[in-house]
Amino acid sequence: MRAEQLRKRIWPVQLATLVKEVPKRSADYIYELKFDGYRILAVKAGAELRLFSRRGQDWTNEFAVVAKAAQKLRASELVVDGEVCALDERGVPRFGLLQNRGNSPPKLAYFVFDLLWREGRDLRQLRLEERRDALARVLGTPSKDSVIALSSAVPGEPRDILRTACSSGMEGIVAKEKGSPYGGGRGLTWLKLKCTKRQEFALAGYVPLLGTRVGEVGALLLALKGTDGAFHFAGKVGTGFTSEMRARIGKLLEHDHIDEPPVVDAPRLAGARWSRLKHVGEVEFIEWTSASELRHPSFQGLRKDKTPDECVREDVAESP
């Protein structure tokens, strides 16, 4: 079986649901750190090793150092689920570092947390603990410089774990129900608690930086897909950019420039340059305003692994 066929056998990936507080039956869950990177499946089929994004894009060349390390895992056929991250000087994952990997690329790490397939056997219906044990055996004893690391279960009270994760600069934590199988899509057996509010937005255009020519982003214009199927204006973000990012994103949006806003309820903005909805960005913010816009937003980077149709408002669910 080839890697692409094997990927399709186990698609789609399991996703976590955002909640406001730890589960009421907190002892029924395993807690892991939430990593700030790209969700990646490593699929090995004999000599073939490929890395796939959550949309099924082949990112083997994008993360060649990870692919090389995954090729050495102890199995001739497997599917591993995890997150590829770029680490800062303290070893903390930073999504923004994945945007700039030119002359001095950051250190990459592949934090793996589930084993879905091994040697012709579909493992998704096994208990979570069994899959984690099998994954640990596949990884063996990692070296100090290993690119691949197991996402360890963090002991302690979940509120303390979350507090420590936030103070360390992590994105949050994930709670996974003990004994649960691996189910594709979003459900309540995996829950995520974030340190700050973050989500993806479709990029509807931009306002040029004051005093610059067209093509230099001053603020991005954001949109979300509503329950009516249309895209609605969701505010703008003007911080979190480097000069290189302002020019690069401006060029992308200018390539798809249109005269009319692609969103419902678009405000009148002097100098606004609207764009076809093709690109997605991740934004961190404090809260939603009563006008359904963002308070104190900060741009984190482009999300090449997601589409505008996936950009819906991520409201907090009730903890089970």
Cβ(147)–Cβ(112) below 8 Å: no
In the predicted structure, residue 320 carries a pLDDT above the cut 80: no
Does residue 318 lie in a domain region?
no
10 three-state secondary structure = coil
pLDDT at 34: 96
CB-neighbour burial class of residue 59 (10 A; exposed 0-12, middle 13-18, buried 19+):
buried
Q: Tell me what the mean pLDDT of segment 196-215 comes to.
A: 89
Catalytic residue among 8, 20, 24, 34: 34
pLDDT at 47: 93
Does residue 66 lie in a domain region?
yes
Q: Are residues 155 and 266 in the same domain?
A: no
Q: Tell me what the mean pLDDT of segment 57-75 comes to.
A: 94
Residue 246: count of CB within 10 angstroms of its CB? 22
pLDDT at 141: 81
pLDDT at 101: 60
Q: Are residues 19 and 108 in the same domain?
A: yes
In the predicted structure, residue 44 carries a pLDDT above the cut 90: yes
- How does the average pLDDT of the chain come out, rounded? 92
Nearest to 214 by CA among 225, 206, 224, 203: 206
Please report, to the nearest 10 degrees, the dihedral formed by the alpha carbons of residues 138, 143, 145, 150 taken in order: 40
Q: Are residues 74 and 182 in the same domain?
A: yes
pTM of the entire predicted model: 0.87
Active site residue 44: no
Q: Tell me what the mean pLDDT of segment 51-56 comes to.
A: 94
Lowest mean pLDDT among 45-49, 194-198, 252-256: 194-198
Q: Are residues 281 and 259 in the same domain?
A: yes
Q: Are residues 184 and 204 in the same domain?
A: no
Measured CA to CA in angstroms, residue 204 lies from 153, 200, 226 at distances of 39, 13, 14
Does residue 316 lie in a domain region?
no
Q: Tell me what the mean pLDDT of segment 286-302 comes to.
A: 87
pLDDT at 308: 97
In the predicted structure, residue 177 carries a pLDDT above the cut 70: yes
Q: Are residues 205 and 229 in the same domain?
A: yes
pLDDT at 211: 67
Rounded distance between C-alpha atoms, residue 254 and residue 280, angstroms: 15
Does residue 40 lie in a domain region?
yes
Identify the domain containing residue 279 by its residue range: 197-310
Which residues in the chain belong to E strands, given as ranges? 14-18, 29-34, 38-45, 48-53, 77-87, 107-118, 121-122, 148-150, 172-177, 185-194, 197-208, 217-225, 231-237, 257-258, 273-275, 280-285, 287-288, 294-295, 298-302
pLDDT at 99: 76
* The last residue of a domain, from among 169, 194, 219: 194
Bridge-based pairing of strands 197-208 and 298-302 is unpaired
pLDDT at 38: 96
Helix (H) or strand (E) holding 128: helix 128-139
In the predicted structure, residue 143 carries a pLDDT above the cut 80: no
Q: Are residues 26 and 146 in the same domain?
A: yes
Find where tokens 């509010």 sit: 197
Q: Are residues 210 and 186 in the same domain?
A: no
Q: Tell me what the mean pLDDT of segment 240-269 comes to.
A: 93
Q: Which residue type occupies 130?
A: E
* The last residue of a domain, from among 134, 159, 194: 194
Q: Tell me what the mean pLDDT of segment 50-78 comes to.
A: 95
Does residue 257 lie in a domain region?
yes
* Domain containing residue 61: CATH number: 3.30.470.30
The structural domain count of the chain equals 2
In the predicted structure, residue 212 carries a pLDDT above the cut 90: no
pLDDT class of 251 with cuts at 50, 70, 90: very high
In the predicted structure, residue 103 carries a pLDDT above the cut 80: no
* The last residue of a domain, from among 167, 194, 221: 194
Q: Are residues 36 and 176 in the same domain?
A: yes
Does residue 103 lie in a domain region?
yes
Q: Tell me what the mean pLDDT of segment 58-64 comes to.
A: 95
In the predicted structure, residue 102 carries a pLDDT above the cut 70: no
